[in-house]
Amino acid sequence: MKIMRDDLLSNHHIVLWGIFLVGLILRGYGLSSQPPLDDEAAAASAAYNYLEHGLFGQVMWYHPPLRNFVIFVSGKLFGGYTAWGLRGGSVLLGSLSVPLLGYLAFSLFRKEAIAYLAAFFLCIDPLHIALSREAFQETTTAFFIIAGVLAALYGTRKDNIPAVYLSGLFFGLATASKWHGLFPWAASAFVYLFAPRLISSYSGERRFSHRLLTTFAAFVVIPAVVYVVAYLPWLLRGYSLSEFADLQAWLVKRQYFHEPPTYAGQFLQHRAYQWFIMPTAWIDFVFHEGRPYIGIAMGNFLVWVMTLPALYFSVKRFMKEREFEAGFAIGLFVISYLPLVFTSRGIWVFSAPAVIPFAFILTAFMINAFLMSGRLSFKLLCTYLAVVLLLSALMYPMAIFRTLEYPYLKSLSDLYSPHKEQMQ
């Protein structure tokens, strides 16, 4: 029995897809009973109008339009814009991000424990669960980012050109969902271009001219084409590529001067530096069929608070041993996170899914290093993971809009509700 258990645990495919099933259940449970947000109803209209008529919709039109494709296809698959028709794409891609992150961690470090921990942290993270259950682009963007980095890493290490081209496709889709995809895209292109110098064991194509040509094709041409194709319904209305370029320049300005709703701007934390040093939430309010609902999207702070210590440990380890694996993980986190930290406009925690996969990899890397060195006992690790799991379970009603049904969450609902007197 012990041998069979060890064999199962050593087969990372079985473990990662088992974690995926748990993540899918958490993201799909009770989805039909979750009340629709006003923006979700508007997203359904936006998807139809964009795909059928090339018109930008009423909600988040200032973001790239891939969300419209995801919702439109999901609606077709599920027979209309029902709860699953609206959110099915987010649920599926958010759930698939879990094993994909595990594969990325395993591909990077070749350690099952790091892969399992990173996938586990994402699987049970309440914020990722909450955003996977809404018809928006946050978890879709994260999925394509993880897929792009994984394909780029595989293509770079194996000198597999089709995989490198595939990574360009994924990064194009990520950026066509939200511009967060630009940062890991740039990091992956840099690593591929300079792989002979960055990876000590690298044995692929070393001629810089060839690598430069492949980098241009895979990380410039393909993503750019994918991004433009996402705007094809709009372009087919008769707009030129010059007007497309003007639109993108205007959208940059629009994003820079973005003004949030009053509640989000005045009552919610809106600086990215806060994410890993204090509990940070995004709140949705719904009044549906005579009942109020509050959804509180907040990460598991017992995991998130480990990020900065893990970053410090990883940097210290990299400076000592110069391991490509640690350096790449650090680079992915830093290049994804710092632009959000230093931007002058507000950044809310619903943007975190583009960053936390790399934070979880760093945390898993640190935990595994402590475990292997004997600085952390297996018993203590199991205790920590059990407490993390318990906290996520207690937070789960917040992620599925059942906050008001549980008395132990009343203080949180009162804290975040601007209308608490009317809800008592």
pLDDT tens-digit series, residues 6-20: 545 568 899 999 999
Structure tokens at 96: 């698939």
- Over residues 298-307, the pLDDT tens digits come to 999 999 999 9
- 3: pLDDT confidence band, cut at 50, 70 and 90? very low
* Residue-level pLDDT at 424: 44
| Rounded-to-integer distance, Cα 364 and Cα 307, Å | 10
User: For residues 387 and 84, what is the distance between their CA atoms, to the nearest angstrom?
Assistant: 32
Residue 423 pLDDT level (bands cut at 50, 70, 90): very low
Mean pLDDT of 281-296: 90
pLDDT at 264 over 80: no
Per-residue pLDDT at 223 exceeds 60: yes
Percent of the chain at pLDDT > 70 equals 95
Q: Is a pLDDT exceeding 50 seen at residue 117?
A: yes
Q: Residue 369: pLDDT band by 50, 70, 90 thresholds?
A: very high
The greatest distance separating any two alpha carbons of the chain, rounded to the nearest whole angstrom, comes to 69
pLDDT band for position 270 (cuts 50, 70, 90): confident
**pLDDT tops 60 at residue 42:** yes
Most trustworthy range by pLDDT among 206-210, 318-322, 382-386: 382-386
Q: Kindly state the tokens that stand for 165.
A: 């081209």
- What integer pLDDT is reported at residue 174 of this predicted model? 97
What does the pLDDT read at residue 57? 81
pLDDT at site 421? 44
| Predicted model pTM | 0.94
Beta carbons of 155 and 106 less than 8 angstroms apart: no
Distance of CA 214 to the CA centre of its chain: 27
SS3 284: strand
